[in-house]
Amino acid sequence: MSISIHRQLHRLVTEFVEHFNHARPHQGIGLRIPARFDQDDHPQLGRVASTPVLGGLHHSYTRVANLN
């Protein structure tokens, strides 16, 4: 494999692990996100923003404060 393929593979795996641990709910822990497991997940007001992950294969959703 060439160096560029290794770099691309590393980037894809790193992006997937980041999404898996910081954005994706897990059934085994009550549909909570592992990186935020200790935080309370109370609904908030505000617009929901979508960020594509892995070239749009998955999406990560976050709340964005309303700037009124």
| Structure confidence by residue, pLDDT tens digits, 2-48 | 778 888 899 889 988 888 887 777 777 777 777 765 555 555 677 88
The three-class DSSP label of residue 58 is strand
Structural domain including 31 reads: 3-64
pLDDT for residue 37 = 56
Task: Write the single-letter amino acid at 19.
Answer: H
- Nearest Cα neighbor of 18 from 42, 54, 66, 46 is 54
pLDDT for residue 38 = 55
pLDDT for residue 40 = 55
* Strand ranges (E), 1-68: 47-53, 58-64
The three-class DSSP label of residue 17 is helix
Separation of alpha carbons 1 and 28, rounded Å: 37
**What is the pTM (predicted TM-score) of this model?**
0.49
Q: What is the mean pLDDT of residues 61-67?
A: 74
Give the total number of structural domains in the chain. 1
